[in-house]
Chains A and B, each alone.
Chain A
């Protein structure tokens, strides 16, 4: 008889939550479409900024292309950080909030190396070697921080209720931020200008872009390919995927779970370390809170791309970078909202909410954002 009652309760769920969500979906769609295209037939209605460009007023086409490249560069870094979230989520099933600090640790420590290279001239005379060494230091630092974090804070909590490691990682995040502030001081550190070889602009496919941005995009893409090969081809990579699939069965099959989890943190840390150097090169300043916002954004990117999926993390990062770079001008400006560039974080977080509403699995997702049944 309970079977007969169920549809009624399900009916209530539809009547409120589903209708609310549908209202959000439709409202957001209308908001975005009108923001982009304006209301051509109706005089006095919003005019999209893209339409303004096409009719020769407003922002130039050059500026749009610049925004796209900036978004891609930003997104590449998000993607690299997002990998750490995604892989850890894959094997342990929780959000490692402290991953943003892993990224920050690499950026901050690499500053000291880059700074000494910069003042000794090595930076400009041997740019590739100098950058390589800086990245090596950043990778090492981030890897150590990530692995130690796992060892000290997360390993004792395997199998604890889900919220406990999450809260632990929030604590770890603050602990790391303020430890680094205590160690290296709280001020901004001005990263040296990129080596001369990387200054100025290059023209690719008829588009002029900053060489640093190009370098960021290329380095990120190469690291992604290397990592992808590592995870899909090597024995350790296979062990990692096995653990993500089912930890207990993997252990029964002879996979050393602790070692592989450490390795996962190490690989995620190394990627975050490279991203840290790229970030510092592009924005030229780092401090102990540098990791906070990129951390949250990267997690957002991981969710957008589909958490647990490596290609998804990269794709999610690129999409998020593009959305937050172009979105404010493309959508919000059309509505006549002033100073839209202030709102790029709002756009990014709204994108997160919308992705979770429209497509809870993310773009390439394997796992569900909603509670798994069973």
Chain B
């Protein structure tokens, strides 16, 4: 209805703009009432001026203005003034709703029911003044932000990107405080030299031997080994960069924050880079799109080689905090790669995936630990690993067989039931002689590599182990994608009956998917057991299954780079279960955000951030068909 008004006349569609404003106002009420504004109010982004809580409110205001202007006036007809006005109008509407809320929380004591509406929150929203100031600010800031948001929409695309991008960089640098400080303080000459050597070697090899893969990879391997030696040789020479974090961050109550001058520098640098390198970026993109498929393939190999190089040296410079974070991310990535086979490739929605993770962890723990009563096999990690895989295969078949005939949603609930059954059994008194009940299994030994012992507390060593297994899992997934069984999975995912008619053995395909997924999860569980040295049933709740599901959905079901991106974004940034991510301030709202992201992705971008091409084509097939139909290319002969 609103769109027709806009299309017919250039008149200002006040109702549409006001509606967006109301949505913005609801955002204000929601984030305040659930405690987000207050919870994040302590964390300063830029030291004295801007806290994270306010940043969220400001972002809501800007969004409302931007959308309000876009909805209130059609893009090609509205004048500059009109659009600003529309944005302001949306902002004021939101501000009015916000003031109503402010009056409500200032007049009544609602804390007995709404626990998050505390005096601190009220002070924050009133800017520490009275209700009057609060209302004036809510409406005034609403109008200003609305207009600013509309203004951003009017900027040239390059300027808009530079502006928003630079601000994002300020936020990122502010958040990466722990990481940046540690890296810069400890950065040594050896790693830098190693990076340079491997980088130069990779460049030369790519240029000259791109079509001779064995020379390319052999040379790279040599360079990597050389790099490791150099890195070790010069590891004592500190580069003395500690003055940078000392200048950039100050300690505050809610954690260290970026100082104003440092924030300004980051902003200006990021802005300048975006604007100055725009031409280059565009040229590069054009060059990439112009590449021949074969050549592109070659560069893809180069990229993989570069990733391996980075993977080898990165754990050396990241420091314990980030290593720990990345190993957690890696463990989830391992599970996600497994679940990606089950859901992404084969289309079987398994919600009890954590059961396989638990089976792997418990098998490893029981076989290797010295603390289990009755059983004292005390195998090493490598001796136990085949049994872990065997247990995973059995578990995969046990769970997979009863559900073969069931369709999607039943499968989901039954697997969820299996997951809960596994957790309760591991916890129960019945299994306590073996699993230790709620106390779990302790004293899980380190991994012996022959020349080196990876203890659970050795973050760097664990990260290397995790990365190695992730690499193997990625290789397996990648090889499976185009294999015969991979294609049967995808055929089955799209239409089981058609696949069966085409000769796909559904039983075999489904069981194999379950078994492959189970193996990857179990290996992840085994590493998890070693990493923590102790496992409890509480570590294997349904939340783990959901987290892994969120990872593959955000990344893009069926796509390996997508799953990797999903793991980095979700686990690395937001944090997994019991492990804070980079944005540790958000830990409390992690599951809320998971839920919101799931909703958003399903409604707006079901194919994920980095989708597999085929999958996204399938998801948008209906739209594509509609377009074709509208163009009149499909006749009525098509049967339903």
User: Could you list which residues of chain A lie within 8 angstroms of chain B, going by C-beta atoms?
Assistant: 9, 12-13, 16-17, 20-21, 24, 94-95, 112, 153, 156-157, 159-168, 170-179, 181-185, 296, 299-300, 303, 337-339, 342-343, 345-346, 349-350, 352-353, 356-357, 360, 369-373
Query: How far is B404's CA from A20's CA once the two chains are assembled, in angstroms?
Result: 11
Select from chain B the residue with minimum beta-carbon distance to A178.
B592
Query: How far is B591's CA from A112's CA once the two chains are assembled, in angstroms?
Result: 25
Report A-chain residues with C-beta under 8 Å of the C-beta of B34.
178-179, 181-183
User: Could you list which residues of chain B lie within 8 angstroms of chain A, going by C-beta atoms?
Assistant: 30, 33-36, 113-116, 347, 349, 351, 401-402, 404-410, 412-414, 416-418, 420-421, 424-425, 427-430, 496-497, 505, 507, 546, 549, 553, 589, 591-592, 594-599, 602-603, 606, 619, 622
Report B-chain residues with C-beta under 8 Å of the C-beta of A171.
594-599, 602
Select from chain B the residue with minimum beta-carbon distance to A165.
B602
Q: Is the CB of A94 within 8 A of B409?
A: yes
Q: Is the CB of A303 within 8 A of B424?
A: no
Q: Is the CB of B507 within 8 A of A300?
A: no
Q: Is the CB of B416 within 8 A of A184?
A: no
Which 7 A-B pairs have CB atoms at the shortest separation, nearest pair first?
Answer: A182-B34, A171-B598, A174-B595, A175-B595, A349-B417, A185-B115, A178-B592
Q: Is the CB of A167 within 8 A of B424?
A: no
Q: Is the CB of B603 within 8 A of A174?
A: no
- Name the residue in B34, B116, B406, B598 with the highest tally of chain A Cβ atoms < 10 Å from its Cβ: B598
Query: How far is B496's CA from A369's CA once the two chains are assembled, in angstroms?
Result: 15
B576 to chain A, nearest CB (A): 15
**Given A163-B347, A178-B591, list of 12 further CB < 8 A pairs?**
A17-B401, A163-B349, A171-B598, A175-B598, A179-B592, A182-B33, A339-B430, A342-B424, A343-B430, A345-B424, A370-B406, A372-B407
A303-B413, A342-B429, A350-B421 in contact; A184/B406 too (CB < 8 A)?
A: no
Report A-chain residues with C-beta under 8 Å of the C-beta of B591.
174, 177-178
For the A-B complex, the count of residue pairs with Cβ-Cβ distances under 8 Å equals: 170
Q: Is the CB of A360 within 8 A of B417?
A: no
A275 to chain B, nearest CB (A): 19
Select from chain A the residue with minimum beta-carbon distance to B113.
A112
Report B-chain residues with C-beta under 8 Å of the C-beta of A20.
401-402
A178-B589, A178-B591 in contact; A157/B402 too (CB < 8 A)?
A: no
A161-B619, A174-B598 in contact; A346/B424 too (CB < 8 A)?
A: yes
Report B-chain residues with C-beta under 8 Å of the C-beta of A176.
595
Q: Is the CB of B546 within 8 A of A166?
A: no
Q: Is the CB of A342 within 8 A of B428?
A: yes
Query: How far is B424's CA from A342's CA once the two chains are assembled, in angstroms?
Result: 8
Q: Is the CB of A172 within 8 A of B595?
A: yes
Contact of B409 among A24, A95, A157, A160 (CB under 8 A): A95
B497 to chain A, nearest CB (A): 7
Report A-chain residues with C-beta under 8 Å of the C-beta of B595.
171-178
Report A-chain residues with C-beta under 8 Å of the C-beta of B598.
167-168, 170-171, 174-175
Q: Is the CB of B417 within 8 A of A95?
A: no
Q: Is the CB of A356 within 8 A of B414?
A: yes
Query: How far is B600's CA from A168's CA once the two chains are assembled, in angstroms?
Result: 9
Query: How far is B248's CA from A343's CA once the two chains are assembled, in angstroms?
Result: 56
A64 to chain B, nearest CB (A): 22
Q: Is the CB of B406 within 8 A of A369?
A: yes
B521 to chain A, nearest CB (A): 19
Query: How far is B424's CA from A303's CA once the two chains are assembled, in angstroms?
Result: 22
Report A-chain residues with C-beta under 8 Å of the C-beta of B505.
9, 12
Report B-chain residues with C-beta under 8 Å of the C-beta of A337.
430
B66 to chain A, nearest CB (A): 21
Report B-chain residues with C-beta under 8 Å of the C-beta of A296.
413, 416-417, 420
Report A-chain residues with C-beta under 8 Å of the C-beta of B351.
170
- Could you write out 16 A-B pairs with CB less than 8 Å apart? A153-B603, A156-B603, A162-B409, A170-B351, A174-B546, A174-B592, A184-B114, A338-B430, A339-B430, A342-B429, A346-B421, A350-B421, A352-B413, A369-B406, A370-B407, A371-B407
